[in-house]
Amino acid sequence: MRIAYILTTLGIGGAEKQVVSLAERMAAGGHSVTLIVLKHAAGDEWPVKLPVLRLNLRKTPAGIYRGLRFALNFLELFRPDIIHSHTFPANMFARMLRARGAKAVAINTIHNVFEGGWHRMLLYRLMDPFADHVTAVSTAALVRFVRLGAVPAKKIALLTNGIDTREFTPDKSRRRSARSAMRAGQMFIWLAVGRFAPAKDYPNMLRAFDEVKKTDSNVELWIAGEGDWSGLEVDGVRFLGLRRDIPELLDAADGYVLSSAWEGMPLAVGEAMAMEKPVVATDVGGVRELIGEAGFIVPASESAALAARMLAVAAMPASERSSLGKQARRRIEAAYSMDAKAAEWEGRYRGWLAGRA
**Residue 12 belongs to some domain of the structure:** yes
Cβ contact 82:1 at 8 Å: yes
Residues 101 and 206 in one domain: no
**Among 101, 81, 85, residue whose Cα is nearest residue 93:** 85
**Whether 206 contacts 232, CB under 8 Å:** yes
Same domain, 126 and 9: yes
* CB-based contact 78:102 (threshold 8 Å): no
Examine residue 207 and state whether it is found in any structural domain, yes or no: yes
Do residues 109 and 183 both lie within one domain?
Answer: no
Domain co-membership, 156 together with 42: yes
Residue 121 CA to residue 292 CA, distance in Å, equals 29
Predicted pLDDT of residue 357: 53
Integer angstrom CA distances of residue 338 from 18, 98, 163, 290, 344: 9, 29, 5, 14, 10
233 — phi, psi (to 5°)? -65, 130
Q: Is residue 190 domain-resident?
A: yes
- For residues 248 and 138, membership in a common domain is answered with no
Q: Is this model's pTM higher than 0.85 or not?
A: yes
Q: 344 in a domain, yes or no?
A: yes
* Long-range contacts, stretch 245-250, CB < 8 angstroms, 24+ apart: 245/178, 246/193, 246/271, 247/167, 247/168, 247/169, 247/174, 247/271, 247/275, 248/174, 248/178, 249/178, 249/182, 249/191, 249/193, 249/222, 249/224, 250/168, 250/170, 250/191, 250/275, 250/277
Per-residue pLDDT of the chain (357 residues; tens, 9 = 90+): 999 999 999 988 889 999 999 999 999 999 999 999 999 887 788 899 999 999 999 989 999 999 999 999 999 999 999 999 999 999 999 999 999 999 999 999 999 999 999 999 999 999 999 999 999 999 999 999 999 999 999 999 999 999 999 999 999 999 999 999 999 999 999 999 999 999 999 999 999 999 999 999 999 999 999 888 887 778 999 999 999 999 999 999 999 999 999 999 999 999 999 999 999 999 999 999 999 999 999 999 999 999 999 999 999 999 999 999 999 999 999 999 999 999 999 999 999 999 875
Range of the domain at 45: 2-162+337-356
Q: Name the domain count of the chain.
A: 2
Tell me what pLDDT residue 85 has: 98
139 and 25 part of one domain:
yes
Any domain includes 167: no
Note the pLDDT of residue 132: 96
pLDDT in tens, 67-104: 999 999 999 999 999 999 999 999 999 999 999 999 99
Torsion of CA 136, 138, 141, 143, to 10 degrees: 100
Which string of b and e fits 108-141 if b means at least 16 CB within 10 Å?
Answer: bbbbbbbbeeeebbebbeebbebbbbbbbbbebb
How many C-beta neighbours within 10 Å does residue 80 have? Answer: 22
Residues 302 and 192 in one domain: yes
Mark whether 103 and 154 lie in a shared domain. yes
Query: What is the distance between the alpha carbons of residues 315 and 311, in angstroms, rounded to a whole number?
Result: 6
Specify the pLDDT at position 13. Answer: 87
Where b means 16+ CB within 10 Å and e means fewer, 281-316 reads: bbbbbbbbebbeebbbbbebbbbebbbbbbbebbee
* Domain CATH code at residue 305: 3.40.50.2000
Quick one: 106 and 122 in the same domain?
yes
Which SS3 state, helix, strand or coil, does residue 69 take?
Answer: helix
114 and 180 part of one domain: no
209 and 315 in a single domain? The answer is yes
Question: Are 106 and 142 part of one and the same domain?
Answer: yes
3-state secondary structure of 185: coil
Rounded CA-CA distance 275/99 in Å is: 44
